[in-house]
Amino acid sequence: MGRSRRTIPEELLLLALDPATGTTAQPQSLDLGLAGAQLVELALAGRIAPDGDRIAVVMARPTGDPTLDSALELLRRRGSPVRAVHWIGGPRLGLRQIYLAHLERCGMVHAVSGQMCGVLPTTRYQATDTAISRDIRARLDSAIRTGVPPDPRTAALAALAHAVGLGKHLYPGNEGRSSRSRLRDLIRHDPMGGLVAHAVMDVQNGVAAQPRRNGQGPGAAAPDNGSRHAAAAGVPMQPHHGAMARAVAHH
């Protein structure tokens, strides 16, 4: 996979970076979103495809992106289609830090070391080229304001941004309420992005998602959290991080 085009995980992470503080918004749900974004990117590359609420490998040939290929190999080893909610809810060992380090190597962010409370080491990340982040944001703004169906990459990015809770970060306050609503509605424009976004929200809600009915398929707009399925067992717990990891994640 050539490097002339940014991947959806990279774009999601750049959207989440706060230019003023150098920290990421919604750090815990962002890890889930990045795992989901990998699935969307692999689908766009023709390596996987949705099979109901499951993900099936249709081509095991590597993409050339080491992080994506690691995920593809793990999916291939499963041997059979895996439910998106189970894949996204599985243990993730520092996926956000892996992508931050990757963006630093690519020259898109600059790491700034510091300390929290004068003791715990922290790392903040500043974008080296704010034009990249502005371009990503402009695509979302255009899709929201014009009502023109976005391309699959932008639709999937919007769906994931909503799923991880970036709406309030990107469009804050009462004045951003309509934009947040339209951001959510963009889920319907990309079936794979919708499937993954719903899976991300289900994992956050502690739900083992059942196949959706009555119009609640992957392309449907996400209902409010309070109206989603009742909690059920079977979703792997999100990984717990130590104090040092939390310090790095939030600062």
> At a CB cut-off of 8 Å and minimum separation 6, what does 17 contact?
23, 24, 25, 109, 125, 127, 133
The pLDDT value given to residue 115: 63
Phi, psi of 239 (to 5 degrees): -65, 145
pLDDT band for position 208 (cuts 50, 70, 90): low
> At a CB cut-off of 8 Å and minimum separation 6, what does 247 contact?
116, 120, 121, 122
The pLDDT value given to residue 224: 38
> At a CB cut-off of 8 Å and minimum separation 6, what does 197 contact?
36, 159, 160, 162, 163, 187, 222
| Alpha helices, H only, 17-65 | 27-44
Per-residue pLDDT tens digits for 34-82: 999 999 999 999 999 999 999 999 999 999 999 999 999 999 999 899 9
What span, in angstroms and rounded, lies between the C-alpha atoms of 217 and 13? 26
Per-residue pLDDT tens digits for 118-140: 677 777 888 887 888 889 999 99
Q: Is 207 left (phi over 0), alpha (psi -120 to 50) or beta?
A: beta
pTM above 0.75, yes or no: yes
pLDDT band for position 91 (cuts 50, 70, 90): confident
Tokens of 156: 């999937």
Identify the CA nearest to 139 among candidates 2, 4, 8: 8
Per-residue pLDDT tens digits for 158-185: 999 999 999 999 999 999 999 999 999 9
Per-residue pLDDT tens digits for 226-243: 333 333 223 333 333 333
